[in-house]
Amino acid sequence: MVNSFIAVSISLFVLNNIVENVNGMKVAVYYEALCGDSVDFITHQLYPHFSELSDYIDLELIPYGKAVHNYNNGSYEFSCQHGPSECKGNKLQSCILAHNDDQLKQVQFVNCIMRRRSRSSSSTVKGCARQYHLDVENFDSCSKGSEGDRLLAGMGDKTLALDPSISFVPTIIFDGKYNEDVQNDSLVDFVAVVCSKIGGTKPSICENRHLPRRLWN
């Protein structure tokens, strides 16, 4: 009887840790296709260790940044910080992200694009999607039609609804709340920030990981 009680207690402890950890925090990354700082964050902070953290994160990638959009005469008009090519690149990524919900593949896909010079090229985006076995069946119709505009406008609505308004790209938000210290730390050591927020058992990558600002003090 005692052994059975111990076994049940251990099982409940393990289950509670799993429930507490798996997809335990929401992380939203607001970025732009042609932004150098976005490239830096995605390729050097988000991507390298994401596979080791993906079980602990509910990730949303939002390619829009400091853009604006209007709806006139039945169609959307966009203006982006780095020009029309960036609007195109944001829309191309939106079309793939909307039709593929595997967050690890999404990160791999966006990293693939951000490492290329031609980040607003349809062939680049489609090639990266195929490399990671993402669905491209509706890509052409989406990227060239009204669906892509609607998806990009949706990314814009999420971005423009931020409080405070976005002032730096990329902006990284945990659990729906902006925090300047968390933002700055994430740009320097995203893994350390995630590790600091994981409750219960942490993955091995979190061992001896400290928030950047604590190292500076």
CA–centroid distance for 172 within its chain? 8
Average pLDDT score, the chain: 90
Domain borders along the chain are 28-176
Q: What angle do CA 175, 59, 165 make, to 5 degrees?
A: 55
Whether the per-residue pLDDT at 217 is higher than 60: the answer is: no
The residue written with tokens 């960036």 in the block is 86
Whether the per-residue pLDDT at 133 is higher than 70: the answer is: yes
* Phi (first) and psi of residue 199, to 5 degrees: -90, 155
| Tokens matching residue 38 | 């976005």
CATH class of the domain at 28-176: alpha beta
Percent of the chain whose pLDDT exceeds 70:
87
pLDDT band per the 50, 70, 90 thresholds, residue 216: very low
pLDDT band per the 50, 70, 90 thresholds, residue 1: low
User: pTM of the predicted model, to two decimals?
Assistant: 0.88
CA–centroid distance for 167 within its chain? 18
- The answer to whether 89 and 57 are in contact (CB under 8 A) is no
